Amino acid sequence: NAGVTQTPKFQVLKTGQSMTLQCAQDMNHNSMYWYRQDPGMGLRLIYYSASEGTTDKGEVPNGYNVSRLNKREFSLRLESAAPSQTSVYFCASSEGPARQPQHFGDGTRLSIL
């Protein structure tokens, strides 16, 4: 049982480049989330999708876009990467928007030069 799968695991980009982080879950969960984790800041919610077909902004949405492609997949796009977006990105899912636990993928380490 894979749980939440994120790709890629590591990526180095140049400022201004774009890329999409992929996330897929095989637990038939309704809700999915994208977080970033920076030293001394804790995990911060970027965007979330309470259910298929809906997306909403979290705490730090600027510079990102998301797509809930279907119930399984939730992608995060950086249109024009900036050094401030260097971070570890985690995707998570849960049965519903207020349900625990949230199951996390093992993260994408992204460096923007």
Partner 1 sequence: RKEVEQDPGPFNVPEGATVAFNCTYSNSASQSFFWYRQDCRKEPKLLMSVYSSGNEDGRFTAQLNRASQYISLLIRDSKLSDSATYLCVVNKLNTGTASKLTFGTGTRLQVTL
Q: Which of 17, 19, 43, 86 binds partner 1 (CB under 8 A)?
A: 43
- Tell me the per-residue interface mask from 13 to 32 with partner 1, x by CB under 8 A, - otherwise: ------------------x-
Task: Report which DSSP code applies to 105.
Answer: P
Q: Which of 11, 19, 50, 73 binds partner 1 (CB under 8 A)?
A: 50
Of residues 58 and 63, the one with the C-beta less far from partner 1: 58
Residues 63-102 close enough to bind partner 1 by CB under 8 A: 90, 97-98, 100-102
Q: What is the spatial distance between Cα 82 and Cα 44, in angstroms, rounded to a whole number?
A: 17
Q: Please give the size of the binding site for partner 1, defined by CB under 8 A.
A: 25
Q: What is the spatial distance between Cα 31 and Cα 18, in angstroms, rounded to a whole number?
A: 25
**7 close to 19: Cβ distance less than 8 angstroms:** no
Q: Could you tell me which residues are beta bridge partners of residue 7?
A: 22
Q: What is the spatial distance between Cα 103 and Cα 83, in angstroms, rounded to a whole number?
A: 28
Q: Which residues bind partner 1 (CB under 8 A)?
A: 31, 35, 40-45, 48, 50-51, 54, 56, 58-59, 90, 97-98, 100-102, 104-107
